[in-house]
Structure 1
């Protein structure tokens, strides 16, 4: 699957269902029938939606961890805490389970944002705050992460 593109403002209905944005649904169309895994983000108060194949790729790495090491076992438990299999229904809606809605402080207005091969689901106000806070340090972060002088020619 190619990298996903786009950030979309959406609404969640009273039952916790998100209508998938048409442009994102089109990008995900080759994998819609396989389903998704929805989980808590490690670093932020948002949710991560993994197409099933992408989740399998991550789990291949996780499955290589030695479970007889306590830190590995603790990581696996926390990484998979609250993980749910979800599907997009025939009407193009995705049900966000209540426990994950509570974790991410999701209210009516949300942002669905592409993050390479996964989709992040944010409460709109929290997303705006994180993006605003991150903007102050983004130039330094971009230089540190992407500005190496090795054989990479950069993005521009």
Structure 2
């Protein structure tokens, strides 16, 4: 499972170095095979181990090619999906269209989300954190059935 937020940098070639604490697990458990795609709800990237991505693809396969919203979801997630492998130094090359989608330039945040990572522009991540705080304090959060019994 992936957790925690790490400040990272993109190099001049558009590569990111995955923090060391994740590298061994990615190499041993997932043979360093990853899929990067876009988040359909935010200007960030999603990085899945290939095995976890295959489960997403199975769900996408069940969506319609004739229903507009379902087709749009497939088009976005699959159209941007990029299969890649960590290099020997634990780096990932982010293709230009993916960097552009997430407005990634130099400073970024890699955020563990249990089965995947989110990759954010650092400033956008700070804005997202503030938005998340506001959401937690809103009535929508208080009225969520799924969160009613959630406690820490």
Q: TM-score range by the shorter chain?
A: 0.7 to 0.9
Gaps of 5+ in 1: none
Partners in 1 of 2:146 and 2:36 — Cα distance? 28
Partners in 2 of 1:69 and 1:41 — Cα distance? 20
TM-score by length of 2: 0.87
Indicate conservation of the 8 Å contact 1:6/1:24, yes or no: no
The match for 1:93 is 91
The match for 1:136 is 134
1:11 pairs with one of 1, 9, 14: 9
TM-score by length of 1: 0.85
Give the CA deviation at 1:128: 0.7
Change (3 A) 1:147 1:75: closer
Give the CA deviation at 1:98: 1.0
Gaps of 5+ in 2: none
Partners in 2 of 1:68 and 1:124 — Cα distance? 37
Partners in 1 of 2:52 and 2:30 — Cα distance? 12
Partners in 2 of 1:76 and 1:4 — Cα distance? 25
Runs of 4 or more above 6 Å deviation: none
Instruction: Tell me the SS of whatever aligns to 1:6.
Output: strand
The match for 1:72 is 70
Is 1:103 paired with 2:101? Answer: yes
Report how many aligned residue pairs link the two structures: 150
Q: RMSD of the alignment, in Å? A: 2.0
Give the CA deviation at 1:93: 0.6
2:150 pairs with one of 137, 151, 154: 154
